[in-house]
A and B are shown apart, each in its own frame.
Chain A
Amino acid sequence: MSDTAHPAGGGAHGADPSRRDFLTLTAAALGAVGLGSVAWPFIDSMNPAKDTLALSTTEVDLSPVAVGQRVTVVWRGKPVFIDHRPPEEIKKAEEVDLGELRDPQKDSDRVKKAEWLVVVGVCTHLGCIPLGQKDTDDRGPFGGWFCPCHGSIYDTSGRIRQGPAPANLAVPPYAFGSDTTIKIG
């Protein structure tokens, strides 16, 4: 801003250039803060609403799940497989040579507690839901899951072993609340 454009006022009105610049700057800055504050509700309205958030986590009580039993829970509209693995299944999963895996991952990197495997039950090939949650299901030669759509076979760590799927069953974010409850999401 140019001071020369204004009449050189003196006296009590105090046309001190530096003070006027300061005032202008303060006003402009405060205005910007105001604009930003008004913008935020608009932007934030696009974020997940409360009803959506209410469904974003799923708490599961694991105490009724016996060793060797598998249960399916729904999390964000997707099935999540929870497998209470018996020791021999854990052993089988841990002994696998990483070299023979298509998507190499250690079993210990896929679980928080070795006896509980938690994976998203959606085949990484074309999104079908693999079989193996029931004792009577065909679990395939690796004792994990078998996808009936195109024959992808997963092991007891949910890792892809045979068939067209490119990747292991995804591990959702979860945390143990206590020894027998987990919170997924």
Chain B
Amino acid sequence: MRKFALALAGAAALTVGAAQAADEPSLPKVTWPNDGVFGTFDRASLQRGFQIYKEVCSNCHALQHLHYRDLGPGGPGGGIGFTDEEVKALAEQAQVTDGPNDQGEMFQRPGRPYDPIARPFPNEQAARAANNGALPPDLSLITKAREGGARYVFALLQGYTDPPPDMKMGTGMNYNLYFPGHQIAMPQPLSDGQVTFSDGTPNTLTQEAYDIAAFLTWAAEPTLEVRHRMGTKVFLFLLVLTGLFYVVKRKVWAEVH
């Protein structure tokens, strides 16, 4: 919305807009294969990202709009490249409360592909209690719910530094260059060598941040690729149709002009 207003109000407005952004540094210029009009996901990157989520993020953050099945070929947009067997095995690692059974009692069972991905905390209060009052946000829409999207996630994860000497930090808070207000409750989650990728990709902080941002982009909109592909077809169709109607219009109007 802001962008649209800027575009409309033109150059005079732009100078004003620039003065406004003062506090947070601008996000690093980085692109993902899924960017752009023809962008598609890099499945290997998504799987590395999911591994990071599973090993690190999932200790505090949920992915509440995602199910195990979404990761497999039957998921929206065709998943992140896991086979049905892999999805099944993954789901079975989780214990899910089900019921009530014939005795009227709830019971535990291994997860199935149709179950939502297991959450770290049963409710908001539990999450706050375990995190010193702070609520770890759900990550399934995080790249759509933050200004800057994947680039913001990428920058934030690498934005931990020491606070400037004149800044008074709240107890348990951490300084982050890119977080609005710079005080973030989450301690630095990723670092060099934090995760060992099964495909042998170097596990630098930058690589980890890149892959988790890619995965979260997918998680926020698994149908992105499908959308891009359909867009191409629709555009080709509309261009031809527009051309045809232009010719027809010229022909019909020839006698009037």
Contacts and interface: CB of A to CB of B under 8 A. Distances in A.
Interface in A138-184: 138, 148-151
A148 B181 CA distance: 11
A149 B171 CA distance: 12
A51 B133 CA distance: 31
Contacts of A149: 181
A151 B170 CA distance: 9
A92 B256 CA distance: 87
A149 B182 CA distance: 11
A138 B170 CA distance: 10
Interface in B132-157: 133
Sorting the interface of chain B by its residue count into under 10, 10 to 19, 20 to 34 or 35 or more gives under 10
Contacts of B133: 148
A122 B170 CA distance: 19
A149 B170 CA distance: 9
Contacts of A138: 170-171
Nearest to B171: A138
Q: Which of A138, A148, A149, A150 has the most CB of B within 10 A?
A: A148
Nearest to B173: A148
Contacts of B170: 138, 148, 151
Contacts of A151: 170
A150 B171 contact: no
A133 to B, nearest CB: 12
Interface string B119-136: 000000000000001000
Interface string B149-182: 0000000000000000000001100000000010
B156 to A, nearest CB: 17
A107 to B, nearest CB: 28
Nearest to B180: A150
Contacts of B171: 138
A44 B21 CA distance: 48
Contacts of A148: 133, 170
B105 to A, nearest CB: 31
B163 to A, nearest CB: 14
B133 to A, nearest CB: 7
A138 B181 CA distance: 19
B23 to A, nearest CB: 12
B179 to A, nearest CB: 12
Contacts of B181: 149-150
B131 to A, nearest CB: 13
A148 B170 CA distance: 7
Q: Across chains A and B, which 5 residue pairs bring their CB atoms closest together, nearest first? A: A148-B170, A150-B181, A138-B171, A148-B133, A151-B170
7 contacts: A138-B170, A138-B171, A148-B133, A148-B170, A149-B181, A150-B181, A151-B170
